[in-house]
Structure 1
Amino acid sequence: MAVSAGVTNEHEGPTDHTRWLKPQGTLRAVFLFVDFSDAVGTSAELTERKDRFATSVGDWMRSASYGKANLSTTFTSSWRRMPRAQSAYAGYHQTFDGHRSYLQDAVNASDAVVDFRNVDLVYVISPRTATTINVSSALIAPTGLGLMADGVERRFAVNLGTSVDDWDYKLVNHETGHLFGLPDLYTYGQPWPQLHEPVGGWDLMGLISAPAPDHLAWHKWKMGWLNDSQISCRTARGKTSATLTPLGTTGGLKTAVVKVTPHRAIVVENRQVSPQDVTSPCFRPGVLVYAVDTTVGGGNRPVTVLDRTPNNAVAGCSPEHAELGNATLVSVNQQLTDAASGVRVRLTAVSGGNRTVEVSW
């Protein structure tokens, strides 16, 4: 689908990999540990965080991508001192220049021990006591405005603030998703828990802490982790049937898509418990149906999950994902209709993990 003019941040249309990092093959990443005169890191904290991220970040990406993206990670072995106190970086995440300046200082502090010619993306971790560095965020720099070291420019980086302790390796993968061009699926400017209304916990880009944070099939297709042959796509009115294999498994047809306008599509996928998800009563495995909109960028509802059970949240679950935890079609003959387009999706058969759907427009 085309991207509307004026959509300049991460979006759901085709990804321009001259701008965003291509999420395929081996990606070489370095984790830089930096501290400050007024927030000194300890060796115990460095070791603990290195052990935590050494395999988990790469394992999640490798599994979610069906082995098509491999994150090869290295770590600095000691804290490198930043040139300014942590308090001097207040507001670093609010502007591109402030963010870039913070990350460039981290790269400069680490240049003596890192050969940045062998790096594709950079992660910067600060101590827990550096409370000024609280927000984790991704930097996607235009050519000529990236981070410079060892005579090369590095345009893709993530700073990991104190929020990394809340969401662990899944936060790292969320921010890395932005480097790949994926948008935020929560809604900017809304209070909690309403900001998670569009997709609940059905994608890491929407709710990092959710029990079902595997990427949507649309995102896996957008990143090249699913092939075109694994997508059933309609652009004309009519009726079709498709048997969808579980999204978390390798191979098979993964999604049925109806392109209803040049900028909007209805997407159907089979969400069973995957290696990225956890077995939980707070989400009901089944057929997930959602609308994709390329007229808006991240934070403005580029994806909206259709809810089979509106105003009927899953009891005992966190409000930010309870309402959509039972949005799926789980039994034969259950159906959903997109009011805007009239596309109807009906679950017609269950066979092991596979689900057969009838899609009418």
Structure 2
Amino acid sequence: MRTLSLVTAALVGCLTLPTTATAAPAPAAPGADCALKGTTGWTDEGHDTDPVRFQHAVGTHRVLTLFVDFPDAPATGPTDPYAAQLAPAAGWLRTASYGQARLDITPLHRWIRMPAASTSYGFRRGLTFEAHELYLRDAVAAADPYADFSRYDMVYVVPTREAAAISFSPTYLFDPATPGVTADGRRVRWAVTFGQDMWRWGPKVADHETGHTFGLPDLYAFTGETHRFVGGWDLMGNIAGEAPQYLGWHSWKLGWTHDDQVACLATPGRRTVRLAPVERPGGTKIAVVRTGPTTAYVAESRRSEGNDKGTPSTGVLVYKVDSAVPTGEGPVRVVRTYGPGESFTDPAAGVRIDVLTSDHAGDVIRLRATRP
């Protein structure tokens, strides 16, 4: 069984937990008892996502796509290939959300000339909020004569391939304390300004960046080995990973999975759970053992289908969530996938997860918690 990511070896394998009289069958706790509160004040793994700063993930999101060129980098071809590059993002998100989130993308098929050279906008890692907002403001102002911005929830800005200086694809999240960017009487709250990396990552870069507008953090590392935290699991980590379907925890945070689809163990005890694969709608999606005010272990069933078609690693994926850890610093840390007869243990946290059986319909696991 191949794994996509590992954390400290001391947490896995043949470790056993201390015997305790408290490990009795636990009453079924409501899923909400295992929800964690975010403490970072930004994108994190907490369920209390700010409804003002971030857009609700359920429903239709009307997106206007602008195509921009520059005095120093004029476009030399039509906009159609650019629109085609991003169009599959809508279908990917619809599948990932079990049909509950839709991108209604409307391309404005004309080149919009930006007022400044592409090299003047400062696109590099460490791009400031102010510089990014200026870029968006210039694009919106230049496009305003040709579009009615009041009809859209968010904006995509796509540069010509001739603009090498616009190198990467950051997400714009408005600051309600500032005047921001407005057009046609409507504030532009959310935007993705794509860079040349869209041609390397493909359409899923739009799903990754749009995920930030829903409040999801980055799961890759901002420093050190980039993909050491989650490997190829979840689009918010490695966009090109082999298993990009959003983690079940994210699906729950975004409202695509409901509390009654979450098996929660929030107190000492044990319970047996049948998990349905996260790639399919319906069934129990995740089992959660809460270990603290901001921490939990999560188990979910993964299969090689849907958005994960082609992944070589299947089984019960176990990972740790900490809603106090900032974006880019490992708020989720994947252990690995487990098969029947295998167990995950963390003695310090008092957690054990045993995989009992597995078939096409999913996996049966047993959760044990020995510490309050």
Corresponding position: 1:70 with 2:78: no
Partners of 2:203 and 2:123 in 1: CA distance: 24
Corresponding position: 1:83 with 2:124: no
Corresponding position: 1:133 with 2:166: yes
Amino acid at match of 2:157: V
* Contact preservation (8 Å) 1:247, 1:274: no
Which residue of structure 1 aligns with residue 267 of structure 2? Answer: 236
Which residue of structure 1 aligns with residue 86 of structure 2? Answer: 53
Structure 1 length-normalised TM? 0.89
For residues 272-300 of structure 1, what are the alpha-carbon distances to aligned partners after superposition, in whole Å with 9 as ceiling and x for unaligned? 1232123143xx11100001001111011
RMSD over aligned Cα atoms: 1.4
Corresponding position: 1:28 with 2:62: yes
Using the TM superposition, give the Cα deviation of residue 50 of structure 1 relative to its aligned residue in structure 2, in angstroms.
1.2
* Contact preservation (8 Å) 1:198, 1:304: yes
Which residue of structure 1 aligns with residue 284 of structure 2? Answer: 253
- Superposition misfits of 4+ residues, deviation over 4 angstroms: none
Which residue of structure 1 aligns with residue 14 of structure 2? Answer: none
For residues 248-284 of structure 1, what are the alpha-carbon distances to aligned partners after superposition, in whole Å with 9 as ceiling and x for unaligned? 1111111100111011011010011232123143xx1
* Contact preservation (8 Å) 1:34, 1:80: yes
Using the TM superposition, give the Cα deviation of residue 353 of structure 1 relative to its aligned residue in structure 2, in angstroms.
3.0
For residues 32-81 of structure 1, what are the alpha-carbon distances to aligned partners after superposition, in whole Å with 9 as ceiling and x for unaligned? 0000011111334x211112323x11101110000111110100111100
Which residue of structure 2 aligns with residue 174 of structure 1? Answer: 208
Partners of 2:73 and 2:185 in 1: CA distance: 30
Structure 2 length-normalised TM? 0.86
Corresponding position: 1:146 with 2:146: no
Structure 2 residue aligned with 1:206, among 233, 237, 241? 237
Partners of 1:196 and 1:114 in 2: CA distance: 40
Partners of 2:115 and 2:285 in 1: CA distance: 50
Structure 2 residue aligned with 1:218, among 249, 269, 285? 249
Using the TM superposition, give the Cα deviation of residue 146 of structure 1 relative to its aligned residue in structure 2, in angstroms.
3.1
Structure 2 residue aligned with 1:110, among 139, 143, 148? 143
Amino acid at match of 2:141: N
Which residue of structure 1 aligns with residue 341 of structure 2? Answer: 333
Partners of 1:291 and 1:51 in 2: CA distance: 37
Partners of 1:155 and 1:202 in 2: CA distance: 29
Corresponding position: 1:267 with 2:267: no
* Contact preservation (8 Å) 2:220, 2:226: yes
Amino acid at match of 1:305: V
Corresponding position: 1:122 with 2:151: no
Partners of 2:343 and 2:211 in 1: CA distance: 31
1:262 match: secondary structure: coil
Deviates more, 1:82-91 or 1:243-252: 82-91
Count residues in correspondence: 332
Which residue of structure 1 aligns with residue 367 of structure 2? Answer: 359
Partners of 1:246 and 1:219 in 2: CA distance: 14
Using the TM superposition, give the Cα deviation of residue 111 of structure 1 relative to its aligned residue in structure 2, in angstroms.
0.6
Partners of 1:122 and 1:274 in 2: CA distance: 31
Using the TM superposition, give the Cα deviation of residue 156 of structure 1 relative to its aligned residue in structure 2, in angstroms.
0.4
1:347 match: secondary structure: strand
Partners of 1:52 and 1:180 in 2: CA distance: 22
Structure 2 residue aligned with 1:287, among 316, 340, 358? 316
Structure 2 residue aligned with 1:185, among 204, 214, 219? 219
* Contact preservation (8 Å) 2:38, 2:45: no
Deviates more, 1:148-157 or 1:337-346: 337-346
* Contact preservation (8 Å) 2:278, 2:302: yes
1:26 match: secondary structure: strand
Corresponding position: 1:305 with 2:337: no
Partners of 1:287 and 1:272 in 2: CA distance: 9
1:328 match: secondary structure: strand
Amino acid at match of 2:314: P
* Contact preservation (8 Å) 1:123, 1:157: yes
Segments of 5+ residues of structure 2 without an aligned counterpart are: 1-34
* Contact preservation (8 Å) 2:221, 2:330: yes
Using the TM superposition, give the Cα deviation of residue 339 of structure 1 relative to its aligned residue in structure 2, in angstroms.
4.5
Partners of 2:272 and 2:37 in 1: CA distance: 28
Structure 2 residue aligned with 1:345, among 346, 353, 358? 353
* Contact preservation (8 Å) 2:36, 2:45: no
Identity of aligned residues (%): 39
* Contact preservation (8 Å) 2:93, 2:102: yes
Using the TM superposition, give the Cα deviation of residue 4 of structure 1 relative to its aligned residue in structure 2, in angstroms.
5.6
For residues 289-346 of structure 1, what are the alpha-carbon distances to aligned partners after superposition, in whole Å with 9 as ceiling and x for unaligned? 001001111011100111xxxxxxxxxxxxxxxxxxxx2112x211111354131111
